[in-house]
Amino acid sequence: MAEYKIKDIEILTGIKAHTIRIWEKRYGMLIPERTDTKIRTYTDADLSFLLNISLLNKRGVKISKIATMGTEAIHNMVADIRLTTSVDNAEEKLILALLELDEQLFRNTLTDLINEKGLEATFTDHLIPFLDRIGVMWLVNSISAAQEHFISNLIRQKVISEIDKLPIPVKNKESILIFLPEHDWHEIGLLFYQYLLRSKGFCTYYLGQSLPYDSLIDCIERLQPTVVLSSWLTAVDEHFIVGYFKQLRNDAPQIRILAGGAQIHTHSAILKDLITEVKNAGSLLALFD
């Protein structure tokens, strides 16, 4: 069973810690455990309960009324809300879908967001914060690898589906070869960059996960891109990552090299003369203005 601090609960539910304390004191809605040093700790059940409260509250149900409702009444009302198409409760729905491995709830919520806001805004405003929340849940052992893989694959499928709806751009003055280096499989962010660039009309070649270096060079020679773009999330040795980009710079001196991800940011100081760091979607598009 996971054990959350109140700051974790604040991040995962979007409810301010101050508000949670007030609800506890005024309505007795939660009775958290406390450590020997009097620090509040919360369980998975507490997290799920607060997500349900947040859903009801955003739909106009007053906290004073929720406090008088029984568990079954809360469950039934939340079940009705989960079937609606409103995106107002998207964050809570996404977390509940993760906790309960509810594919239908996750797909419906994500589809509603994309239909209303488009994939670009959905990814930036909702999926990135959601993935950050998953990171918190990993740290406190709240979710399993199976749950993380389940949700990640649903996101991956949806982004690929949106890419598939776009026309294939013709090769123009800029063409971008997109790949993950060998032993890196975290492609959700890179798939989003593929969507983003294609939606703006740029010619892209997406080579996917864990691309061997020799195959990368072969594709550069065959396709003659003007830019290569990669993402580095899996931990790597400093000497390896520096050596990789030095070799790429030597083998493809005419290519502009863009790279993002946690490992690029960590080693940004020693890579600054070899690559251009991509920090987010906005910084990526700014490079092509």
Asked whether the predicted pLDDT for residue 36 surpasses 90, the reply is no
pLDDT-derived band at 87, boundaries 50, 70, 90: low
Tally of structural domains, the chain:
2
- Kindly state whether residues 96 and 231 are assigned to the same domain: no
- Output the CA angle 253-257-258, nearest 5 degrees: 175
pLDDT band at 62 (very low <50, low <70, confident <90, very high): confident
Distance between CA 140 and CA 142 in Å, rounded? 5
What is the DSSP code (8-state) at residue 124?
A: I
Report percent pLDDT > 90 for the chain.
Answer: 44
Number of Cβ within 10 Å of residue 185's Cβ equals 11
- Is residue 77 within 8 Å of 39, Cβ to Cβ? no
Pair 23, 126 in one domain:
yes
Structure confidence at residue 182 (pLDDT)? 93
- CA 12/CA 61 separation, integer angstroms: 21
Residue 176 sits in the same domain as residue 145: no
pLDDT band at 55 (very low <50, low <70, confident <90, very high): confident
- Clarify whether residues 29 and 151 are in a common domain: yes
> From CA 267, how far away is CA 236, in angstroms rounded?
10
Structure tokens at 124: 């930036």
CATH number at residue 264: 3.40.50.280
Domain containing residue 209: 168-286
CA–CA distance, 241 with 202 (Å, rounded to integer): 28
Distances (CA, A) of 247 to 212, 214, 221, 243, 254: 13, 11, 15, 6, 13
* Domain end residue (candidates: 106, 140, 161): 161
- The CATH number for 105's domain is 1.10.1660.10
pLDDT band at 209 (very low <50, low <70, confident <90, very high): very high
Question: Are 94 and 190 in a shared domain?
Answer: no
Q: How much is the pLDDT for 254?
A: 94
Whole-number CA gyration radius for the chain? 22
Contact status, residue 195 vs residue 163, Cβ threshold 8 Å: yes
What count of other Cβ atoms lies within 10 Å of the Cβ of residue 42? 23
**Count of CB atoms within 10 A of residue 204's CB?**
23
Tell me, yes or no, whether 42 and 85 share the same domain: yes
Same domain, 217 and 156: no
- The mean pLDDT value for 37-44 works out to 83
Terminal Cα-to-Cα distance of the chain (whole angstroms): 49
Q: Mean pLDDT in the chain?
A: 87
Choosing from 101, 132, 161, the residue where a domain stops is 161
For residues 254 and 245, give the distance between their C-alpha atoms in angstroms, rounded to a whole number: 13
Domain check: are 78 and 213 in the same one?
Answer: no
Query: What would the mean pLDDT of 131-141 be, rounded to a whole number?
Result: 72
Give the end of a domain, one of 137, 161, 185: 161
Residue 253 to residue 256: CA distance in whole angstroms: 8
> In angstroms, what CA-CA distances link 204 with 104, 163, 175, 262, 276?
32, 11, 6, 23, 18
CA dihedral 68, 57, 158, 85 (to 10 degrees): 90
Residue where the block lists tokens 């083998």: 251
Give how far the C-alpha of residue 204 lies from the chain's centroid of Cα atoms, to the nearest Å: 22
Q: Residue 248: pLDDT above 90?
A: yes
